[in-house]
Structures are given as structure tokens and as C-alpha cells.
Amino acid sequence: MIFEKELIHGRLIKRYKRFLADVMLDDGSAVTAHCTNSGSMKSCLEENAEVWLTLVDDPKRKTRFTWEMIQIGGEWVGINTSHPNRLAFEWIEKGLIPGLEGITGLKREVNWEDSRFDLYGETPESGCFIEVKNVTLREGDRALFPDAVTERGRKHLNTLIRVKRAGLRAVMLYVVQRMDVRIFSPAREIDPAYGEALDEAVRQGVEIMVIQARVSPEEITFHRTLPLEI
């Protein structure tokens, strides 16, 4: 995914009210940017850290900027939660994700029972529902999800189990937008119930896939798959 517009550089002043962040631009002006990430953003918040923003042309938007990424420990961390769905769609269509190469007719935002999944596609054997999650939380060399308690996330896992029982493929796809990790696990200390739900999903045959993305101010690219340790 190439950024269509040149990003705007600044430094983080603070993030507040979950969806807002104040940023000092290079020209000395302070602006407020929209933060799409509703989680705690633990391990990817640091005052005065370098950030990149997108300028938004929509006159209806209260904020003229969207916060895209932050530099932590010399590595860029993608915090825009609207990108992983687009990235997954692009990478599946290009056949880059191991195990999902044969999917065709890919669609976004498809309903099944009382849930809406991010992606749906067809294989020669059956349909395939895919839920995509953005991962930014880091502890040591481990990427973790979630960074806050998520009832919605548990619901998606439980629905994926029902999808699998109905004879369809069910995939939970985590997109890790940082390069300073080498393994993925559920954040059991933050949300034990989510960890238990993931355990059950694995037992029931839901496919768990973890993709690491390389984030830069120019583009976000597929890097590799990461091992799951539950």
C-alpha cells in the first residue's frame, strides 16, 4: 500500500480522548489529528516521538489530519486501524499470504448471522470468512493482542467458530504494523477472556494467521508471517 499523498512530519505532544492527538509540526505549528486507534496504544505512545500525518481534504472533518504512524525505538509503528483491512485485501489478491493464495471473488464487509466480517472470498472447496485485526502492542520481542479488553473481538472469534462448524473456512488474520517483534501471542494479562476465546477457536479449527508489515512514510508492505504461540 503506497500512500497517495505525501505525509506530514511532526512530533507527538499528547494523545487524549482516545481519538485525538496534538502534534507539533516541523514549522512550529500545533495541530490536532484524528487517531483511528481506540485501544490503549500501550507500547506505541511516547511524547516528542516522531510521527507522520495525512492531510485530509474533507471539509466536514473537524480535524484536518489523520495520524498514521509513530517512531518507537527507531522503528515505525503503524497506528491507523483503517489500513489492515485494505492491506489484507491487497495482499490476498496478490497471493502474498501463505494459505490464502487461492481465494477469488474477494469482498469487503460481508454479513454472516449477526456479525459482519472484514473480508469474504471463495475457494474451490468453500467460502472463506476473514476477520482482520490491527496489532501494535509489544512486550519484549512479542506482539500481543488486544491492548484493551474487547468484547467485540471475542464475539468475532465465537462467530468464526460457528462459521467453521457450518462447513466454511474461518480465518482470524492479525496484521502486526511494527518490525521489532518476532512472535505473536494473545495478551492474556490484559484480556484473559479473549485469550480463552482464541484458545477455543484454535481447538475448533479456526485458522489463525499473523502477518508482519513493514511501515514507512512512503508505503506499508508485506514482510513475513509470524509464528503464533498461545
pLDDT tens digit string along 81-123? 999 999 999 999 999 999 999 899 999 999 988 889 999 999 8
Whether residue 146 has a cis bond before it, omega within 30° of 0: yes
Helix locations, the chain, DSSP H: 83-93, 151-165, 192-203
C-alpha cell at 86: 485494505
Residue 58: predicted pLDDT: 82
Residue 183: predicted pLDDT: 98
Angle (CA) 20-25-27 rounded to 5° is 150
Residue 190: predicted pLDDT: 97
7-16, 23-32, 50-59, 180-189: lowest mean pLDDT where? 50-59
Residue 46: predicted pLDDT: 95
**pLDDT above 90 for 48:** yes
| For the chain, counts of helices (H) and of strands (E) | 3, 15
Residue 61: predicted pLDDT: 83
Residue 62: predicted pLDDT: 86
The predicted-structure confidence for 173-195, as pLDDT tens digits, reads as follows 999 999 999 999 999 999 999 99
Q: Which domains does the chain have, with CATH numbers?
A: 8-78 (2.40.50.580), 83-225 (3.40.1350.60)
Residue 125: predicted pLDDT: 87
Give the C-alpha separation, 162 to 20, whole Å. 37
Residue 21: predicted pLDDT: 97
Residue 213: predicted pLDDT: 98
Residue 25: predicted pLDDT: 98
Band (80; pLDDT cuts 50, 70, 90): very high
Across the strands, what pairs with 142?
A: 139, 183
* CA Rg value for the chain: 18
C-alpha cell at 196: 480463552
**pLDDT above 90 for 42:** yes
Do 181 and 226 meet the contact criterion of CB atoms below 8 Å apart? yes
Collapsed DSSP state (helix, strand, coil) of residue 207: strand
Residue 69: predicted pLDDT: 98
Give the C-alpha separation, 131 to 182, whole Å. 22
**pLDDT above 90 for 59:** no
Residue 113: predicted pLDDT: 85
111 Cβ partners below 8 Å, 6+ apart?
A: 117
| 29 half-sphere exposure, CB direction, 13 A CA radius | 6
The predicted-structure confidence for 200-224, as pLDDT tens digits, reads as follows 999 999 999 999 999 999 999 999 9
